[in-house]
Structures are given as C-alpha cells and as structure tokens.
C-alpha cells in the first residue's frame, strides 16, 4: 500500500513538472553582426562570410611540395607538447559539459547507520536503519539547459583553440624550415663566393710578386676573404639556433635532431585568385571567439534562473530496528515522498550582481569577436599585399643578379688586363654576393608570406583556386 502511494505521488509530481518545465529563461543566441567588406583591398575576388562555417584546414603545407617539410609538420602535430596541453584543456571542457548534463538525472543514494541515544531520564536507546533515497531537481526554468548550452559552446571554443594552437605550431615549423633552407642557400652562395675570392686573392698575390699590382691590392683581397669567412661563421651559428628551435617544436631534445643541408629551397606555391569568405570564417581564432560569445549568452540565462524558485522531488524507502540484525529479521518499514519548493528572499544583491556581470561579459566577448574578425581581415590583407609586392620584387631581383654577375665578369677581365685596381673587383664581387643573397631573401619572404596567408585564412585555400 505504501509503495503504491509512493508511486502515485511520484508520478503526479513528475507529470506536473513535465508540464511546467517547457520554458527556458534567458536570451536565445544569435551571432553578433560583424564588419564585412564588399571586396578585399589587395585581392579582387571575395565571397561574403557565411553565417556558420567550420571545417578542418587540411594539410596546407603540402602546397610547398617538400616531402621533408611534410614529415616535420606531421611529427610536430603529433608530438608538440603545447598541443598536448591544448588537447588536455579540450578534454577538461568535455568533462565539464558531462558534469553539467548529469544535473538532468536523479540522484540515488543508500545509507546504513546505527545510533545510540542517552537521555538524563531515559535509558540508552539504540537504533539501526537502512534506507534507499532518490531525489530529482527538474529543470523547471531551463537553468540546466542553459548551463549545458554554455558548456557546449565552451567545448566548441576549446576545440577551436586546439585547432588554433595546431595551426600556430604548424606555421612555426614551416617558418623555421624556410629559415633553415634560406640559410643553407646563403651558405652555398657564400661558399661559392669564397672560392672565387680565394682565386682572386691568389691571382693578386701572383701579380704582386710579378710587380704588376701594389701591396694595397693584396691587403684588399685578403681583407675581403677574411670578411667572407667571418660571415660564414655567422650563418652557421644562425642555422644551429634555428635547428634547435625546430627540434623543440617537434618535441625533441636538440641532441636528438639534425636537419641535413639541402641544395634547394621549397617552391613558392601559387596564390589563390580569390578568397572565399568561408576560409576567414573557419579561422580557429574566429570560431573560438564566436563560440565564447555563445557561451556568455547562455550564462546570462543561468544567472536569470537564479531569481526563480528551485523545485525538487525526493523519496525515501527504508527499514529500522534496535540493532543491525533486526533490519533483516523483524524490521520496521518506513517511507517518505514529497516535493520541495525553495526561494531565496534576500541575498544582498548577489543575484543582481551575477546577472549584471554575465551581461557585461557577453558585451565584452561580442566586441572581442568583432575585433577578431577585423584582425583576420587585416591579416589577410597584409599577406596578400606582401605576396603581391614580393612577386614584382622577385622579377626585379632576378634582373639585378644578372646585371651584377655581368658587371663582375667585365671588372675581372679589366683587372686581369691590369687596367684597374683590385678595389673595383672587390666592389663588384660584393655587389654580386649581395644581389644573390638578396634573391634568396626575397624567395624566403615569398615562402613565409604564403605560409602567413594560409594561416590568416584558417590554414589553407581551395585546391585549384589559384593565380595562373
């Protein structure tokens, strides 16, 4: 009879709560409006940002067509310790959401106890009891739903933060690799120049011994030779530092990593002829900022729900006796069931402060999201401007190298004929060296700009959407 009554009361309460729990307090989320240009300043092709877009960036570094680079980026993606930390933060966010979802479920507990009471006018009384308790706080005003909504948005933001960290590490690996390969080319060019300078110095010594040139020419030739040797040491030191930096990105100790020299730099990939808006919208930092706004919006609903009464249903069923053995032999049964409605009357303004803080937090993150979108557009424009300017500069630099090499050949022939001093030869050789090293720098800057563009649009561009 008692169990039937308990069941009837529970069913009645659950039915009542189910009828009332359809409402959810707090504002529903809508994505903040952002500034969106009609076109890009340095790229005519532009497609508007979609309302929602989130896709994986893909293996954008393969655009450089360098197998060794691809291996390094893959290794860093798997082993970098910064990414391990970001992945752990993502798992924590998932766990936090699971904890919030648990509030949907009833809480079931069991207890067994024994007590002894000793009054001044009574004998010692011993009691033992065992009970099974269940309680449930229905989400009458949507507080739990809003909290789960906030935590879900936080999970999405954490996933975007992980993607942003991954993209940053990949970009750092690519940038470090490009720097090393540029240093390799600088060293190769300097070695060639050194060989030429050694031949010139030897020729100058022979001419001096024959009385053709003065001692000043010999000193000038030796000075140039020693200066180039000193520059070579600088390049080797820079490469060693960059190689150690790359080792750390890979999650390795410097002693466990070495990158052999290469004869060529990666090819400069073709740039996209247009930038679809969805590539901007899938930038991890943009996604993380937008999801943070969604979480803040849901938190406003959680704060508003604190103004409303809490409703809970609890039930208990158990047995009691004088001793623990009585619980099994001749127990006294007891049960209880009933709803509870609780309302905070006065809290000194705590709920109002919490609601105001939640609204202010939303306003802050909405502004931060809009700023992130503006920053992403700035980054794209910067990368496009750099690639456009460097493309023209590369043409001029190649012409400069050709002219410098031709001038050096003419000057050397005049020197061998005894028409000029070695100073003019040194100037011509240095001009050629600087032009060739400048050409390497332009190529390295083009590669870096391509990588920056990939990062600024979320880690890649559409295959086939390229400049001719």
- The band of 388, judged by pLDDT with boundaries at 50, 70 and 90, is confident
Q: Please give the angle made by the CA atoms of 158, 160 and 163, to the nearest 5 degrees.
A: 115
Residue 135 parent element (H or E)? strand 125-136
What is the pLDDT at residue 327?
64
pLDDT of 457 higher than 80: no
- The band of 335, judged by pLDDT with boundaries at 50, 70 and 90, is confident
Tell me the average pLDDT across 428-451. Answer: 92
Q: Could you give the residue ranges of the DSSP H alpha helices within 255-349?
A: 277-281, 284-305, 326-329
**Ranges of each domain in the chain:** 24-104+141-308+351-456
Most confident option among 19-28, 53-62, 202-211, 402-411: 402-411
CB of 169 within 8 A of CB of 249? Answer: yes
What is the pLDDT at residue 58?
67
- The band of 326, judged by pLDDT with boundaries at 50, 70 and 90, is low
What is the pLDDT at residue 273?
60
Residue 116 parent element (H or E)? strand 107-117
DSSP 143-164: HHHHHHHHHHHHHHHHHHHHHH
Query: In this predicted model, which residue has the larger pLDDT, 434 or 39?
Result: 434
DSSP secondary-structure letter at 322?
Answer: S
- Mean of per-residue pLDDT scores for the chain: 82
- The band of 118, judged by pLDDT with boundaries at 50, 70 and 90, is low
DSSP secondary-structure letter at 61?
Answer: G
Tell me the average pLDDT across 192-215. Answer: 85
What is the pLDDT at residue 28?
86
- Domain 24-104+141-308+351-456: homologous superfamily in CATH: Outer membrane efflux proteins (OEP) (1.20.1600.10)
User: Which residues 6+ apart lie within 8 Å of 171 measured at CB?
Assistant: 451, 452, 454, 455
Q: Measured between alpha carbons, how far is 173 from 166 in angstroms, rounded to an integer? A: 11
pLDDT of 136 higher than 80: yes
Residue 334 parent element (H or E)? strand 332-342
Tell me the average pLDDT across 32-55. Answer: 56
What is the pLDDT at residue 122?
60
CB of 246 within 8 A of CB of 180? Answer: yes
Query: In this predicted model, which residue has the larger pLDDT, 463 or 254?
Result: 254
- The band of 230, judged by pLDDT with boundaries at 50, 70 and 90, is very high
Q: Measured between alpha carbons, how far is 274 from 149 in angstroms, rounded to an integer? A: 36
What is the pLDDT at residue 263?
85
| For the chain, percent of residues with pLDDT exceeding 90 | 34
Q: Measured between alpha carbons, how far is 174 from 73 in angstroms, rounded to an integer? A: 7
pLDDT per residue as tens digits for the range 308-319:
888 888 888 878
| Phi and psi angles of residue 108, each rounded to the nearest 5 degrees, phi first | -115, 130
Query: Could you give the 3-state DSSP secondary structure of residue 110?
Result: strand
Query: In this predicted model, which residue has the larger pLDDT, 328 or 142?
Result: 142
- The band of 121, judged by pLDDT with boundaries at 50, 70 and 90, is low
What is the pLDDT at residue 343?
82
What is the pLDDT at residue 277?
65
Structure tokens at 317: 């069923």
- Distance of CA 104 to CAs 99, 176, 309, 312, 436, Å? 10, 50, 17, 12, 69
The residue count of the chain comes to 468
pLDDT per residue as tens digits for the range 397-437:
999 999 999 998 999 888 888 788 888 888 898 899 999 99
pLDDT per residue as tens digits for the range 253-294:
999 999 999 988 998 887 766 666 666 777 888 888 999 999
Q: Measured between alpha carbons, how far is 142 from 125 in angstroms, rounded to an integer? A: 47
How many C-beta atoms surround the C-beta of residue 4 within 10 A?
A: 8
What is the pLDDT at residue 276?
62
What is the pLDDT at residue 40?
65
- The band of 239, judged by pLDDT with boundaries at 50, 70 and 90, is very high
What is the pLDDT at residue 436?
93
pLDDT of 464 higher than 60: no
Q: Measured between alpha carbons, how far is 218 from 201 in angstroms, rounded to an integer? A: 7
Structure tokens at 367: 């502004």
């Amino acid at each position: 009879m008692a169990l039937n009554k308990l069941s009837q009361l529970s069913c009645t309460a659950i039915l009542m709560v189910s009828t009332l729990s359809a409402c959810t307090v707090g504002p529903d989320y809508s994505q903040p409006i952002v500034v969106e240009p009609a076109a890009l300043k340095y790229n005519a092709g532009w497609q508007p940002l979609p309302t929602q877009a989130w896709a994986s960036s893909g293996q954008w570094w393969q655009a450089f067509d360098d197998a060794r680079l691809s291996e390094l980026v893959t290794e860093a993606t798997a082993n970098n310790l910064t990414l391990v930390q970001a992945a752990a933060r993502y798992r924590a966010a998932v766990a936090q959401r699971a904890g919030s979802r648990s509030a949907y479920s009833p809480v079931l507990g069991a207890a067994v106890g024994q007590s002894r009471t000793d009054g001044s006018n009574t004998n010692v009384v011993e009691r033992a009891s065992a009970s099974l308790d269940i309680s449930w706080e229905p989400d009458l005003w949507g507080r739990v739903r809003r909290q789960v909504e906030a935590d879900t948005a936080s999970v999405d933001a954490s996933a975007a933060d992980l993607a942003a960290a991954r993209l940053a590490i990949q970009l750092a690996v690519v940038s470090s690799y490009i720097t090393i390969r540029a240093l390799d080319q600088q060293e190769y060019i300097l070695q060639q120049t050194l060989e030429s300078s050694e031949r010139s110095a030897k020729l100058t010594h022979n001419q001096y011994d024959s009385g053709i040139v003065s001692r000043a020419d010999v000193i000038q030739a030796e000075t140039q030779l020693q200066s180039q040797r000193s520059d070579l040491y600088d390049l080797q030191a820079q490469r060693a530092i960059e190689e150690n930096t790359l080792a750390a990105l890979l999650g390795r100790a410097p002693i466990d990593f070495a990158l052999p020299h290469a004869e060529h730099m990666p090819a400069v990939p073709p740039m996209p002829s247009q930038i679809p808006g969805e590539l901007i919208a899938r930038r991890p930092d943009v996604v993380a900022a937008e999801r943070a706004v969604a979480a803040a919006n849901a938190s406003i609903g959680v704060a508003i729900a604190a103004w409303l009464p809490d409703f809970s249903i609890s039930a208990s069923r158990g047995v009691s006796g004088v001793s623990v053995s009585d619980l099994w032999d001749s127990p006294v049964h007891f049960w209880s069931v009933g709803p509870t409605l609780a309302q905070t009357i006065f809290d000194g303004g705590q709920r109002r402060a919490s609601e105001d803080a939640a609204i202010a937090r939303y306003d802050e993150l909405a502004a931060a999201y809009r700023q992130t979108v503006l920053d992403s557009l700035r980054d794209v424009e910067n990368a496009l401007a750099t690639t456009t300017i460097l493309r023209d500069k590369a043409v001029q630099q190649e012409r400069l190298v050709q002219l410098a090499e031709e001038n050096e050949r003419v000057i050397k022939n005049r020197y061998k004929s005894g028409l000029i001093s070695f100073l003019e030869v040194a100037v011509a050789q240095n001009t050629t060296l600087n032009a060739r090293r400048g050409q390497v720098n332009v190529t390295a800057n083009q590669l870096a700009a391509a990588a920056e563009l990939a990062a600024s649009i979320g880690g890649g561009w559409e295959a086939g959407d390229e400049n001719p």
